[in-house]
Amino acid sequence: MAQLKDVLKKPSSFYDEFLRKPDNYQQDTHYCPGCGHGILHKLIAEAIEDFGIKDRTIMISPVGCSVFVYYYFDTGNFQVAHGRAPAVATGIKRTHPDAIVISYQGDGDLAAIGGNNILQAANRGENITVFFVNNAIYGMTGGQMAPTTLLGQKTMTSPYGRKATWEGYPMKVSELLSTLEAPAYVERIALTNGKNLMKARKAVRKAIQAQIDGKGFSLVETLSMCPSAWRMTPVDAKKWVEEAMMKTFPLGVYKDVLDEREVGSWHRALETVPIEKYHEILGLAHEGMEVEGDVESVPKIFRNPKVLIAGFGGQGILLLGQTLAETGMRHGWNSTWIPSYGPEMRGGTANCHVKISSDPIGSPVVSEPNILIAMNKPSLERFEKDLAPGGLLIYNTSMIDIKPTRTDIEILPLPATEMADEIGSLRVANMVIIGAVLEKTKILQKDVVLDSLNAVVKHKKFIPMNSDAINKGMEYARNYKG
């Protein structure tokens, strides 16, 4: 047990003034009189100060009354979506293994909407510390029933008292999590009398120390007073914790394997991968990557292709985009590809965005394409207006019985589906289109496209047919007289 200091005052891991608070009372918390949050905040702040970890601690604020944790702690702070604190904490800890990541969550946040998040993080044994504040109610929103509301407890949404046969039993988070293998330390504490406060102080420090030592997941469940939502005085609320809550939620250590674990055994050092390894890992490393494109011979508007490809799911829309993006990359440029998934995959309209550029690409989203490929009628109707003036529209006349209306763009009508059928498979219509794109824009080289196909096409036996389709598409575009 850590020694008490001679003078106990506001820990330095709190801000001097709570400047984020909107009013003039910037020395005080926003919590109601007698709220347990302030007590737990102080215990955590004291531990952070004593351990000298203020500069590497990151607090995660939840949704609930303690949403404003970041008003108070002079540490790194994130405020996250409801219940998602363990997921965000995981991301932060994995990328910053030396940070001390503390997730602070209430019962509505952790046990209801975030129930699976905490379960999975605990089961993965994330090397984080979770402070779970259980006050058996939704405090911030005015006192609705929580997963941890006691049997018989009257709340705004259980006005006759919680009944097991109607609302189920109070959720015992510490008991539940302690059945998992991975967690290192799980204890339930209360903020009531002197004995319990000192146990709480010890538990808070132990849980943070567990993380510092790299021993894995720790969680401290705190039975906390909510005098406002319980409609009690602070002193009565404290008594109610002892007389009612502790019967359902007994205090104690539910899991503690800290002594069995070696220091650093659950510390996950960040494995960095050298950039040249990316292509090898992704299975893309082979000759062809270093090809330089001859940009000078390419019409200016096509030098940084922004391609929108749209059609029915099943027309090879996504593969078409992937092939273009891969080809751009193999030319040595930057490229991005994002598909639009959704119900479109079941036969509606699918689309994907491709950008190829010699400059870094900020956003992969193509809002004003300079090349639009419309494989079906709804796509033409929907996207024609978005095409940049002077841009290229290629549309599949086999499937589209209307004509484009724009006059400020270059238009190539192409019976891609019928041509594909003649070549031997309706599925190569997308390759016919690629051929046309190659011929019209001149920016991508055919041999590089074929190289790319090797990487993106799963069934290699289709490669000759694809090659044939690309040739037919190029030929058609070359001979087309608008």
Partner 1 sequence: MARIEVHKDHCKGCGLCIDICPVNVIETSKEINNLGYHPAQYKGEGCTGCTLCFYTCPEPDAIVVYRKD
Vertex 329, ends 443 and 457: CA angle to 5°? 100
Q: Binding residue for partner 1 (CB under 8 A) from 27, 179, 363, 425?
A: 27
Residue 193 or 358: the one with the smaller Cβ distance to partner 1 is 193
User: Half-sphere exposure of 382 toward its Cβ, with a 13 Å CA cutoff?
Assistant: 15
- When asked if residue 360 is in the footprint of partner 1 (CB under 8 A), the reply is no
Helices 85-95 and 115-124 cross at an angle (nearest 10°) of 30
Count residues binding partner 1 (CB under 8 A).
38
DSSP 8-state code for residue 156: T
Tell me which stretch binds partner 1 (CB under 8 A): 39-47, 170-178, 362-370, 419-427. Answer: 39-47
Q: Binding residue for partner 1 (CB under 8 A) from 76, 227, 313, 435?
A: 227
**What contacts 24+ positions apart, CB below 8 Å, involve 413-420?**
414/473, 414/476, 414/477, 414/480, 416/375, 416/473, 419/469, 419/472, 419/473, 419/476, 420/469
Tokens representing residue 439 in the block: 């011929």
Q: Binding residue for partner 1 (CB under 8 A) from 36, 114, 316, 321?
A: 36
47 to 86, contacts with partner 1 by CB under 8 A?
72
180 to 209, contacts with partner 1 by CB under 8 A?
191, 193-194, 197-198, 201
Quick check: 109 and 63 in contact, CB under 8 A?
Answer: yes
- When asked if residue 45 is in the footprint of partner 1 (CB under 8 A), the reply is yes
Q: How many C-beta atoms lie closer than 10 Å to residue 404's C-beta?
A: 17
- When asked if residue 233 is in the footprint of partner 1 (CB under 8 A), the reply is yes
Residue 202 or 303: the one with the smaller Cβ distance to partner 1 is 202
- When asked if residue 11 is in the footprint of partner 1 (CB under 8 A), the reply is yes
Residue 56 or 202: the one with the smaller Cβ distance to partner 1 is 202
Q: Which residue stretches of 255-384 are H helix?
A: 275-281, 317-330, 377-383
Residue 37 or 172: the one with the smaller Cβ distance to partner 1 is 37
Q: Closest separation between CB of residue 191 and partner 1, Å?
A: 7
Residue 61 or 396: the one with the smaller Cβ distance to partner 1 is 61
- When asked if residue 31 is in the footprint of partner 1 (CB under 8 A), the reply is yes
Give the three-state DSSP class for 285: coil
24: CB partners within 8 A, 6+ apart:
none
- When asked if residue 234 is in the footprint of partner 1 (CB under 8 A), the reply is yes
**What contacts 24+ positions apart, CB below 8 Å, involve 9-13?**
11/42, 11/45, 11/46, 11/48, 11/49, 12/49, 12/54, 12/74, 13/45, 13/46, 13/48, 13/49, 13/54, 13/57, 13/73, 13/74, 13/75
Residues in contact with partner 1, shown as a per-residue x/- string from 138 to 177 under the rule CB under 8 A? ----------------------------------------
Q: Binding residue for partner 1 (CB under 8 A) from 2, 28, 169, 299?
A: 28
Q: Closest separation between CB of residue 129 and partner 1, Å?
A: 19
Residue 34 or 86: the one with the smaller Cβ distance to partner 1 is 34
Write down the residue that tokens 């005080």 correspond to.
Answer: 28
Q: Closest separation between CB of residue 159 and partner 1, Å?
A: 27
Q: Counting every residue, how long is the chain?
A: 482
459: CB partners within 8 A, 6+ apart:
none
Residue 11 or 305: the one with the smaller Cβ distance to partner 1 is 11
Q: Binding residue for partner 1 (CB under 8 A) from 47, 61, 98, 238?
A: 238
Tokens representing residue 131 in the block: 């402070």
Residues that bind partner 1 (CB under 8 A): 4-11, 14, 25, 27-29, 31-39, 41-43, 45, 72, 191, 193-194, 197-198, 201, 227, 233-235, 238
